[in-house]
Amino acid sequence: MLPFISKKNNKSILSLDDIKLPSHVGIIMDGNGRWAKKRGLPRSAGHSAGANNFRTITRYCNKIGIKYLTVYAFSTENWKRPEDEVGALMKLFKSYLQEAIADFKDENIVVKFIGDRNAFSPELQSLIDENEKLSADRTGMVLNIAMNYGSRDEIVRAVKNIAVDVKDGCLTIDDINEKVISDNMYTAGQPDPDLVIRPSGEYRISNFLLWQSAYTEYIIMDVLWPDFNTGMLDDALIEFARRNRRFGGV
């Protein structure tokens, strides 16, 4: 079922109660299209199923105590998809953002968006703003939804912002360090992701959190996103806990 997860020592760790959870988890929600194709359905049906699963997994992450969850919902490159598929995704985002305003209140989830929101319709942009504004004072998990997000685009934006600060005299070239760069990313103030999970079996980073994931542990799972479930997430978290992170040290 999960051929890319090592089974070594897994028996010695039985449940989430026994392990230290990562504080920041990223998920590349991949495989919706293949899930639909396998069932003879249009790709948009795969995205609907993916959106439902996203609701389940988000709530579960908050419940078990993950502090930050970043999900890749739409990349800067996804605009290249057929118009009807992009349209179906925009519809899904709209209905999800409408319901998230009320739904995440009880769950105490802080909703943030990373990516260039200017490309979205005014209606979607207002929903994005409203979600962020209404959830800002909550104290639960921070959910970063990456929409029209591309890591290279984010880095270009950060470089431009820093260049403006240097030009305006707020910063000197010698002041530029890793913290200044991190502070100019969409994820400013948040810890780097400890773990990124990629369902669908693809061994690619796909322009996701390139700067932030310098020392992130990756887990690739052979399951399509709509079929990814909470048990599989537990397996990934247990596998993560087994890993020996050295951050370049010994």
111 binds ligand FPP (CB under 6 A): no
* Residue among 24, 44, 47, 158 that touches ligand FPP (CB under 6 A): 47
Asked about 192 being catalytic, the answer comes back as no
Nearer to ligand FPP, 23 or 207 (CB): 207
115 binds ligand FPP (CB under 6 A): no
Annotated active-site residue in 53, 78, 174, 192: 78
Binding residues with ligand FPP: total (CB under 6 A) = 17
> Tokens standing for 247?
């951050």
Annotated active-site residue in 10, 30, 131, 222: 30
* Residue among 5, 25, 29, 66 that touches ligand FPP (CB under 6 A): 29
Nearest by Cα to 208 from 49, 72, 13: 72
User: Are 136 and 166 contacting, i.e. CB atoms less than 8 angstroms apart?
Assistant: no
Asked about 161 being catalytic, the answer comes back as no
Helices and strands of the chain, counted as H and E runs: 7, 6
Burial class (CB in 10 A: 0-12, 13-18, 19+), 47: buried
Distance CA 124, CA 97 (A): 8
Residue 33 CB, nearest approach to ligand FPP (Å): 2
Binding region for ligand FPP (CB under 6 A): 29-34, 47, 50-51, 54, 73, 78, 92-93, 96, 145, 200
Residues annotated as catalytic (active site), given as ranges: 30, 78
